[in-house]
Structure 1
Amino acid sequence: MAREKKHRSRGRRSPLAAAALIGAGLLLTGGVYAGASAAMASTSDAQTAASTELTVEDGQKLFTANCATCHGLNLEGTDEGPSLIGVGELSVEFQLATGRMPLQMQGPQAPQKPVQFTDAQIRAMAAYVQSVAPGPGYPEDWVTAGKTNPENAKDEVDIANGAELFRINCAMCHNVAAAGGALTEGKYAPALTSTSALHIYAAMVTGPQNMPVFGDMNLSTEDKRDIIAALVWQQETVPIGGFTLGSLGPVSEGLFIWIFGIGALVALTVWITAKSN
């Protein structure tokens, strides 16, 4: 009698098994990718942290490569640029962090432009200049933060006093609304509507370009703090009274009236004349 051959039953594979297999593959691939990304990110962060810790020697190298052509290898200055002996780290930070230096071209005044160095590079070059020939340094935090002087608890921040001091000492060039203004021979006083507290202080202490130096005999540290607090308050306050028109006073207001006011009267006169005809 012939033995019957048993055939193995071939059933259909469940669709859930395929979906589970695909899901497991995606999870495995995602896990490997996430681990690799985290490792690369940690390495990148470590490299970034290492690159931000620049030394005075790094600042010297940056200065030699970017500044020595005009200011000299020893900060002595040349025919193309002034000496930096005694200007201090605060002046270097101001000039580099506002994009005024390196100078793009000779002119009546160095304009602001995009910054070409990182904060760490700027600090390193400023530290190098300070190490060679010291000058004005960075202020204490309470000065630029508009806080009370910790050495004198009775001395509180006075924004009204700062605004008055600004009108007396600065408004003739920078405009009473800190909108800037024109000077002689193509020079100008820049607007202070977006200038940082540190750079306002640096300008008062170092006197860049056409600005005079305000020493402690002219304005005390507390007075400088009040001026900074008043300007920062003005930057953060929403202007009231309608359009500012550039905060240029009678000039822009008169131009606005001349163009739109008289223009509207002329248009109305022409319309009335056309109707009468």
Structure 2
Amino acid sequence: MGRFHRHDEHGHSHGHGHTHEHGQAHGHGHGHGADLGDHSGYDTGPERVSVLERIFDENDATAAANRADFEAAGVTVVNLMSSPGAGKTSLLRATLQRLAGGPRIGIVEGDIETSIDADRLAGLGAAVTLVNTGNGFGGECHLDAPMVRSALPRLPLHELDLVIIENVGNLVCPAEFAVGEHSRAMVYSVTEGEDKPLKYPVMFRSADLVVVNKIDLLPHLPFELDAFYRNLRAVNPDAAVVETSVLTGAGIDRWCDWLTGVRR
């Protein structure tokens, strides 16, 4: 069926008001003057638009039901997103260790296949439940609201304060599907290059917080941190930022302060 981008992700309005299939977002108002390319090969017919809008409508209805259940239980939910290998699971391990004895945390672990990441988070005091999106022929590159809803009976919501949803590693699709979260954070690794906010604006635009991870590697990379921040501000001038290194522990306290601060 192909992917389908809408630009009011996470309930945010950025004045785009149109949708299109795979290909980069049209990025009105980014102000970076880049050539946005030829998207004519991705024109979407009205029938497909109708089908895909129904998919998003159904997803949003389930997301609203999820959020109602979270709020009835007094739980705050953070949707944690990133590309593969940016360090979400390592950051969550450090988080659970740092917040031991603090807020009661649940994790919804999303992966296409295997329980590798869920296993890494086991035994650290959190209630962890796994959602595999694979079907033997590939798998969904994101969690959606129905997938998250299927995981809720496996979490003791009324015994938790905070749920972190570790989404499937992907810089496009997870940003397009609300799952019932109250806030969104994304982990970005400095190994990914300065241009990622411009190439994947939907993800960066949807984030309330950007965790700039693996900063211990900066002395070893031809990476311009100031250029990354200029690109980030071009697409999302309001996102909070925390710089972290799981290896050295830098910034982990600030990240944990943000997490505990978003609790309702």
The interval holding the TM-score normalised by the smaller chain is under 0.3
Q: Give the structure, 1 or 2, with the largest relative contact order (CA under 8 Å, sep 6 or more).
A: 2
The structure having more radius of gyration, on CA atoms, is 1
TM-score by length of 1: 0.22
Which is strand-richer, 1 or 2?
A: 2
